[in-house]
Amino acid sequence: MRLNTIIIYLFVGVFLMSCSSDSDNDNGNVDPNNPKAGNQLPLGSSANDLLSDQNFSNLAIEIAVDDNVSVSNSALIDLEEFLEARTFKTNITITQRTIESPEMSPYSNSEIVSIEDNNRTLYNTEDTIAVFILYLSGQSENDEGNSVTLGTAYRNTSLVLYKETIDNAGQPLNTPSVSEIESATLQHEFAHLFGLVDIGTEAQTPHVDPDSQGHCNVEDCLMIASIEFASGMIGMNSVPSLDPQCINDLQANGGR
Q: Which long-range contacts (CB under 8 A, 24 or more apart) does 34-37 make?
A: 35/123, 35/124, 36/123
Nearer to Zn ion, 218 or 236 (CB): 218
Rounded to a whole number of angstroms, the minimum distance from the CB of residue 195 to Zn ion is: 12
Rounded to a whole number of angstroms, the minimum distance from the CB of residue 208 to Zn ion is: 9
Q: How far apart are CA 73 and CA 71, in angstroms?
A: 6
Residues at the contact surface with Zn ion, assessed by CB under 5 A? 10, 12, 216, 218, 221, 223, 243, 246
Nearer to Zn ion, 10 or 76 (CB): 10
* Single-letter code of the amino acid located at 212: S
CB-based closest residue to Zn ion = 216
Nearer to Zn ion, 124 or 245 (CB): 245
Nearer to Zn ion, 12 or 130 (CB): 12
8 Å CB contact between 74 and 41 = no
Contacts of 26 (CB under 8 A, 6+ apart): 55
Rounded to a whole number of angstroms, the minimum distance from the CB of residue 186 to Zn ion is: 12
What are phi and psi for residue 39, nearest 5 degrees? -110, 10
Rounded to a whole number of angstroms, the minimum distance from the CB of residue 34 to Zn ion is: 29
SS3 content of the chain, % helix, strand, coil (to 5): 25, 20, 55
Rounded to a whole number of angstroms, the minimum distance from the CB of residue 247 to Zn ion is: 8
Nearer to Zn ion, 180 or 243 (CB): 243
8 Å CB contact between 69 and 103 = no
